[in-house]
Each structure stands twice: as C-alpha cells, then as structure tokens.
Amino acid sequence: MKHEWRKHEKELYMPKAKPELVTVPKQKFLMIDGQGNPNSEEFAERVGVLYSLSYAIRMMPKQGYTPEGYFEYTVYPLEGIWDLTEKGRKLDTLDKEELVYTIMIRQPDFVDEGVVERAFESVRKKKPHKYLDDVRFETLEEGLSVQMLHIGPYDSEPETFRIMDEFTRANNLERACLTHKEIYLSDVRRVEPAKLKTVLRYRVNRL
C-alpha cells in the first residue's frame, strides 16, 4: 500500500483551523539555507533542487536500484523554518529581504546517507543545479509544538499566529524560540492566495 502523508500522518500535516498541541518526532530531511525574499528566482531554484533530489529518491526502483526497506510513497510537501536577520528584527514592518530561512523536504525512514549520495549523483548527471552542493541531509526533532492550519495568503499569517499565541498562553506554555515552521500544502502556482493552505507551527515549553 502506498504511504500517503495526507492520510497516514494527518496529525502532523492536516491540522484543523484552530490551535493544537502536538509532539513532532525525529524526521529526516533534505534541507538548504537561504536569505531574502521568497518570491525571488533564487528561492524558486532552491526549492527546485530539493524536489529534484526528492523525486530522484522516490524513482530509484524505476531506475534499477531499490533501497533496502523501500516502500511506495507520495513525496512529502515543502517545509520551511523562518527567521529574521538582526536588522530585520528591529524593523517595525516586515522586510522580506531580511528573511532568513531553511527550506526542506522530509524523506521516508529508509533513506540514509548512501541513498542520498545516489540521488546527488543522479541529479548531477541529469539536471545540474547551482545549489546542489548546498543541500544537506539531516535529522530534525521538533518535539512539543503548537500548530494550526492557516488558510489564505502568506501575508495574513500574523493573524493566525496571534490565535496560536493566545492558545499557548492559555495552556501554560511558552514559545521555545523565535523561529517558526511552515508546511506548504498548496501549490502557490495553482491555488489562488485566498485558498492557500499552510501549516504553521512553533516549538513550545511547558511553564
């Protein structure tokens, strides 16, 4: 049976449009860092290289190599951890050029360094990317977190964060860091801004 993250990992990827507390386990990711406006060509190219590698892994059996423990699955959605530069934090309004990010795509548990190395070789041959060597393979454990589904344009996210912050305070929690995670459930090229679905999440500590 094909592993569909939308069906089999609903608690992490399909939250309701109200805040909830979740514990996010260790997960494996291909990730790449960057700074600046996410509407830029540079950002799109970084996204592109993550997808190239992710699809190279998923298609390996069709290319004649089946990693140990491989199972059929849907490629996971793009995720991002967002922060601001020191200068950006001091501004009264958001300057997207001052955004600092790590974007990533989760990989199934069977993926290891050897599988990733094969994916790099495959992409290097088929479709060289200028950011290929900037991608790294890492394990991330977010742990206790507050998350909520945001529906609408990215620029209206502060309203959803305000609701999450109220929930956090009401439940005797505090944010563990200034960064937050976003998981993009919609294809921004195909979905109108008012209908975009994004999971917003940040790590918390119990008080």
Asked if residue 98 lies in contact with residue 85, where contact means CB atoms within 8 angstroms, the answer is: yes
Q: Please report the pLDDT score of residue 4 as a whole number.
A: 97
Look at the pTM and tell me if it is higher than 0.85: yes
Residue 191 Cα distances to 40, 80, 96, angstroms: 18, 19, 22
Q: Give dist(CA 151, CA 15) in Å, integer.
A: 11
Asked if residue 6 lies in contact with residue 14, where contact means CB atoms within 8 angstroms, the answer is: yes
Residue 178 Cα distances to 67, 139, 156, 203, 206, angstroms: 38, 20, 18, 9, 16
CATH class name, domain 5-206: alpha beta
Q: Band the pLDDT of 164: cuts 50, 70, 90.
A: very high
Q: Please report the pLDDT score of residue 188 as a whole number.
A: 87
Q: Band the pLDDT of 127: cuts 50, 70, 90.
A: confident
Asked if residue 80 lies in contact with residue 123, where contact means CB atoms within 8 angstroms, the answer is: no
Asked if residue 3 lies in contact with residue 110, where contact means CB atoms within 8 angstroms, the answer is: no
What would the mean pLDDT of 60-84 be, rounded to a whole number? Answer: 97
Q: Band the pLDDT of 92: cuts 50, 70, 90.
A: very high
* Mean confidence (pLDDT) of the chain: 96
Q: Give dist(CA 29, CA 184) in Å, integer.
A: 15
Tokens of 140: 């991330």
